[in-house]
Amino acid sequence: MYEIWLTLNIVWELMLDAWPLVLAAALAWVVLMGLALAKGGGWGAALKPALLAAVVVGVVAVFAVPALTKSSLAELTYWVDWANVIGIGAAVGAVAAAFVWPLGALMRARRHG
């Protein structure tokens, strides 16, 4: 339980440092969603590319995060380490999907509209 609490504290502290970037990304996503919803259509067809982007970006993130933190996959010796790296990869993949889905819907709506 301590490891989970420590992880949550680290994520919170990182978010406090990066809040302007997080806020800018959230605002960009809201604007993108608004544009895509206003144009309408294409959501179903855009879901496949969004899921593919999530998987590809997530897998890349799992392998890139240790290197970006001056570590390596060989350093992941505890299950919590693996859970954190996989969780970060999943989160990065979800963010990618959150941007690709409305972008794909917007592109399809413009192409067919």
Minimal CA–CA distance to 106: which of 22, 31, 12, 13?
Answer: 31
The SS3 call for residue 31 is helix
Distance from the Cα of residue 46 to its chain's centroid: 17
Residues 51 and 97: their CA atoms lie apart, in Å, by 6
Range from 3-17, 24-38, 66-80 carrying the lowest mean pLDDT:
3-17
- Sorting pLDDT into bands at 50, 70 and 90, what band is 14? confident
Write down the pTM of the prediction: 0.84
Q: Is 44 left (phi over 0), alpha (psi -120 to 50) or beta?
A: alpha
Fill in the amino acid letter for 59: V
pLDDT tens across 67-93, in order?
Answer: 988 889 899 898 888 998 999 999 999
For residue 64, what pLDDT is reported? 95
pLDDT of 113 over the 70 cut: no
pLDDT tens across 40-61, in order?
Answer: 878 999 999 999 999 999 999 9
Identify the DSSP state of 78: S
